Structure 1
């Protein structure tokens, strides 16, 4: 694969256009632009990051509407996701307006949330504020009140209110996207978050596996 040299200006133009006209008709006429200007550079970026961060899943252009029937048929962004050994996500997303990275867990499942709160309350939580210093913490999923079982304030109550923990960076789109700077920005932001990832891997870990429903046994043939 060719090295990453940046996204052409048509990349963000296409994402803005598909956001305005998210139809099969538009895609039929312009889908080739996505492959050349959006998906191709994203795959090149992922290939350059993989030696350091492991396999990166590049997002498909189409939404899976099986579980989100109300979602538009085509993504209005592009991106990739790597995983730490403990299941933390390292993501990069290019939209029509910004290049954004996010590292951590957007939302804990029940087991992760329990382990996270125990860690924050106990000795491991004492180091977390220092690890997060200098980072922007995504507070989009956060309790307004106190977590269940808390009747007073705790020195780390802001962390205890979080329902997920990830640190984010974002920069508006511009001519810099057509250079190798996006690669360096993603690499730098993922590296800077490594101590946070290590803490999450050690004290929170991966999501619990989703139980699979057993297939029903076939009915015995009816007697004639």
Structure 2
């Protein structure tokens, strides 16, 4: 029997405090809070989602500061991902803003962008994507991703899917803040329900960009 009890509100408090003092000294002094309120609950959540969605990965809490002007050492959020296709997957995150879920394609690598644009040579595939994104918006999800400010080179101004062709990544998200069910076992079903809602988008992307079924 599962003893999962959601993500403690202490996880949100932890990231609120980290935003105020993002230093190695603070982190080391507060690491037990991270282990108990952030890492362990997310690992438990991932284990419960694994049978339906696949193997989860918990991202490292350290930032890669090698090429960044911001040298703060730690991420101000903790994410867990299931990525059945490289650069695409289901995601859940906790931060000072609370809980967020997401799904879709986040890696704007040139080969994926090229494959994505080629898809729209098939009018049916573009129409299918429009429909499933419309359904996500109607259900209260936010469709986003990296986008070009202008139209891609070689694309007509009157292309029926111009707005979609501007995307260099494509995701759907929902932000919850701190719902009353965050520190309860109900969290599992809320995250699973969102990930199921993202599945049509994941299937479309995985098939056409990754050549896989999910």
TM-score (norm. length: structure 1): 0.83
> Would the alpha carbon gap of residues 197 and 76 (structure 1) be closer, same or farther in structure 2, given more than 3 Å must change?
same
Matches of 1:204 and 1:91, distance apart in 2:
19
Q: Root-mean-square deviation (CA), in Å?
A: 2.1
**Counterpart residue number, 2:5:** 5
Matches of 2:48 and 2:174, distance apart in 1:
20
Q: Does 1:152 align with 2:157?
A: yes
Does the 8 Å CA contact 1:116/1:204 hold for their aligned counterparts?
A: yes
Q: Which runs of 4+ in 1 moved over 4 A?
A: 66-69
Matches of 1:59 and 1:107, distance apart in 2:
15
Q: What is the aligned length?
A: 206
> Would the alpha carbon gap of residues 127 and 163 (structure 1) be closer, same or farther in structure 2, given more than 3 Å must change?
same
**Counterpart residue number, 1:34:** 34
Q: By how many angstroms is 1:113 displaced?
A: 1.1
| 1:163-185 alpha-carbon deviations (Å, 9 max, x no partner) | 11111111111432111232112
| 1:72-129 alpha-carbon deviations (Å, 9 max, x no partner) | 2122111201012465221111111121112111233111111111212313212111
Q: Does 1:186 align with 2:194?
A: no
| 1:175-207 alpha-carbon deviations (Å, 9 max, x no partner) | 32111232112111111111111111111117x
**Counterpart residue number, 1:20:** 20
**Counterpart residue number, 2:134:** 133
Matches of 2:67 and 2:51, distance apart in 1:
33
**Counterpart residue number, 1:213:** none
**Counterpart residue number, 1:104:** 104
Matches of 1:28 and 1:115, distance apart in 2:
44
Q: Which runs of 5+ in 1 are unaligned?
A: 207-224
> Would the alpha carbon gap of residues 31 and 20 (structure 1) be closer, same or farther in structure 2, given more than 3 Å must change?
same
Does the 8 Å CA contact 2:93/2:101 hold for their aligned counterparts?
A: yes
User: SS of the counterpart of 1:201?
Assistant: helix
Does the 8 Å CA contact 1:14/1:33 hold for their aligned counterparts?
A: yes
**Counterpart residue number, 1:177:** 182
Matches of 1:129 and 1:198, distance apart in 2:
14
Does the 8 Å CA contact 1:81/1:92 hold for their aligned counterparts?
A: yes
